Amino acid sequence: MKIYHKILLYQNKWLYPYIRVLLTGMVYVAYLASLLLILGVVYEHGVTVSEQSVGRLQHLYDIVRGIFLLEVTLYILLDYQHTKRRFNRLTWVLVALLYLTLVPLFFHPPEEEALWLLWEFLDGKFYRTSLLLIFSFLNLSNGLVRLLGRRTNPSLILAVSFLVIILVGAGLLMLPRCTTSGISWVDALFISTSAVCVTGLTSVDVASTFTASGFVVIVLLIQIGGLGVMTLTSFFAMFFMGNTSVYNQLVVRDMVSSDSLSSLLPTLLHILGFTLAIEGVGMLAIWSDIHATMGMTFQEEAAFAAFHAISAFCNAGFSTLPGNLGNPSVMAGHNPFFIYISLLIILGGIGFPILVNLKGIVLHHLRKAWTFLHTWKWDKHRFYHLYNLNTSIVLIMTFLLLVLGTVSIAFFEWNGAFAGMSVADKWTQAFFNAVCPRTAGFNSVDLTTFGVQTVLIYIFLMWVGGAAQSTAGGIKVNAFAVVVLNLVAVLRGTERVEVFGRELSYDSIRRSNATVVMYAGVLSACVFVLTLWEPQVPVMALLFECVSALSTVGASLNLTPTLGDDSKLLVIVQMFIGRVGMITLMLGIVRQKKHTKYRYPSGQIIIN
- Cβ–Cβ < 8 Å for 166, 196: yes
Reported as a pLDDT band with limits 50, 70 and 90, residue 590 is low
**Shortest CA distance to 487 belongs to which of 387, 607, 350, 354?**
607
**Residues counted in the chain:** 608
Q: How far apart are CA 6 and CA 67, in angstroms?
A: 27
| Beta bridge partners of residue 502, listed in sequence order | 499
* Residue 261 pLDDT level (bands cut at 50, 70, 90): very low
Q: Phi then psi for 418, rounded to 5 degrees?
A: -95, 10
User: Per mean pLDDT, which range of 124-128, 353-357, 545-549 is the poorest?
Assistant: 353-357
Q: Which residues contact 18 (CB under 8 A, 6 or more apart)?
A: none
What are 386's strand-pairing partners? none
Phi-psi region of 599 (alpha: psi -120 to 50; beta: other; left: phi over 0): beta
pLDDT interval class at 8 (50, 70, 90): very low
End-to-end CA distance of the chain: 81
Q: Omega before 152 cis (within 30°)?
A: no
User: Residues 16-33: what's their mean pLDDT?
Assistant: 83
3-state secondary structure 416-478: CCCCCCCHHHHHHHHHHHHHCCCCCCCCCCCHHHCCHHHHHHHHHHHHHCCCCCCCCCCCCHH
pLDDT tens for 158-169 read 777 788 888 888
Read off the pLDDT of residues 216-226 as tens digits, 9 standing for 90 and up.
999 999 988 88
Residue 463 near residue 474, CB atoms below 8 Å: yes
Give the closest residue to 428 by CA, choosing from 416, 415, 414, 439.
Answer: 414
Among residues 481, 515, 494, 503, the alpha carbon closest in space to that of 585 is found at 515
Distances (CA, A) of 338 to 11, 194, 342, 555: 64, 22, 6, 16
What is the band of 591 on the pLDDT scale with cuts at 50, 70, 90? low
- Of residues 209 and 154, which shows the higher confidence score? 209
The C-alpha angle with vertex 46 and arms to 40 and 52, in degrees rounded to 5, equals 60
Pick 213 or 247 by higher pLDDT. 213
How many Å apart are CA 6 and CA 203, to the nearest integer?
Answer: 64
Whether 317 shows a pLDDT value over 80: the answer reads yes
Q: Give the pLDDT mean for 311-339.
A: 89
pLDDT band at 82 (very low <50, low <70, confident <90, very high): confident
Model confidence at 529, in pLDDT bands (50, 70, 90)?
A: very high
Could you give the C-alpha distances from 455 to 460, 524, 541, 547, in angstroms and in order?
9, 18, 10, 12
Contact (CB, 8 A) for 35 and 135: no
The Cβ-side half-sphere exposure at 390, using a 13 Å CA radius, reads: 19
Query: CB–CB of 554/195 below 8 Å?
Result: no
Q: What is the pLDDT, as a whole number, of residue 6?
A: 47
| pLDDT the model gives residue 403 | 95
Write the DSSP assignment of 224-248 as a string of letters. HHHH-HHHHHHHHHHHHH----HHH
SS (H, E, C) 497-565: CEECCEECCHHHHHHHHHHHHHHHHHHHHHHHHHHHHCCCCCHHHHHHHHHHHHCCCCCCCCCHHHCCH
Contact 567, 462 (CB under 8 A): no
Confidence of residue 4 (pLDDT cuts 50, 70, 90): very low
Helix (H, G, I), strand (E, B) or coil at 8: helix
Choice among 440-444, 450-454, 553-557, 581-585 with the minimum mean pLDDT:
581-585
Lowest mean pLDDT among 46-50, 199-203, 268-272, 594-598: 594-598
Q: Supply the pTM of this predicted model.
A: 0.81
Query: In this predicted model, which residue has the larger pLDDT, 361 or 416?
Result: 416
